[in-house]
Structure formats: structure tokens, C-alpha cells
């Protein structure tokens, strides 16, 4: 119902939901990013742990795999490097 190429961006989502009669306060709460104030390195580590478990990558190939995984999810290269312990 809310899919399609016309439905992009927060403004489009907001307008579409308002058009369906959803209260503006509810829409704003739903569209708010719950990770706005979190430490990006801690968030990257949380995502890694969820996907790969608690073990640290021991081989270079495994580090590359995890780096690419986080990069595809929008993390900055500096954040990824710190999350993987490259700067340790």
C-alpha cells in the first residue's frame, strides 16, 4: 500500500501516512531514528556481534568480510576500522 517509486524520503512517508489518517505525532515517533545519539563504533560492534557472534576475526579474510558487511550497511570506514580494532 505504501510502496512504489513515488514513496521516497521522510517527507513522502509523512505525507502518505497523513493521507491515510495517521496522527502526525505517531508518524514523527515512527520515523525518528532510534540510533541518533548512539556511539557509531558501539553500534557497529553490536551489528557485528549479532551477525557473526562474539568471536574476534583472526584472519585477514574474515576482517575483510566483516568490513564489507558494515560498509554495505552504511557505516563510515573510520568507524568500521575502529570497531574491528584495526587501530589497536
Distance between alpha carbon 57 and the CA centroid of its chain, in Å?
21
Cell 589497536 belongs to which residue?
A: 88
Query: Nearest Cα to 69, choosing from 44, 86, 87?
Result: 44
Residue 55, CB-side half-sphere exposure with 13 Å CA sphere: 6
pLDDT value of position 33: 67
Class of domain 40-83: mainly alpha
What is the pLDDT tens value at each position of the chain, 88 positions in all? 454 445 556 677 778 888 898 888 887 877 776 655 578 999 999 999 999 998 888 899 999 999 999 999 999 999 999 999 875 5
pTM: 0.56
pLDDT value of position 38: 74
Domain boundaries, the chain: 1-32, 40-83
Amino acid at each position: 500500500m505504501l510502496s512504489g517509486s513515488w514513496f521516497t524520503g521522510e517527507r513522502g512517508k509523512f505525507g502518505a501516512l497523513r493521507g491515510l489518517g495517521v496522527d502526525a505525532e505517531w508518524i514523527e515517533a515512527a520515523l525518528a531514528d532510534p540510533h541518533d545519539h548512539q556511539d557509531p563504533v558501539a553500534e557497529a560492534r553490536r551489528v557485528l556481534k549479532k551477525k557473526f557472534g562474539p568471536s574476534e576475526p583472526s584472519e585477514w579474510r574474515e576482517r575483510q568480510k566483516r568490513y564489507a558487511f558494515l560498509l554495505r550497511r552504511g557505516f563510515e570506514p573510520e568507524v568500521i576500522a575502529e570497531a574491528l580494532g584495526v587501530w589497536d
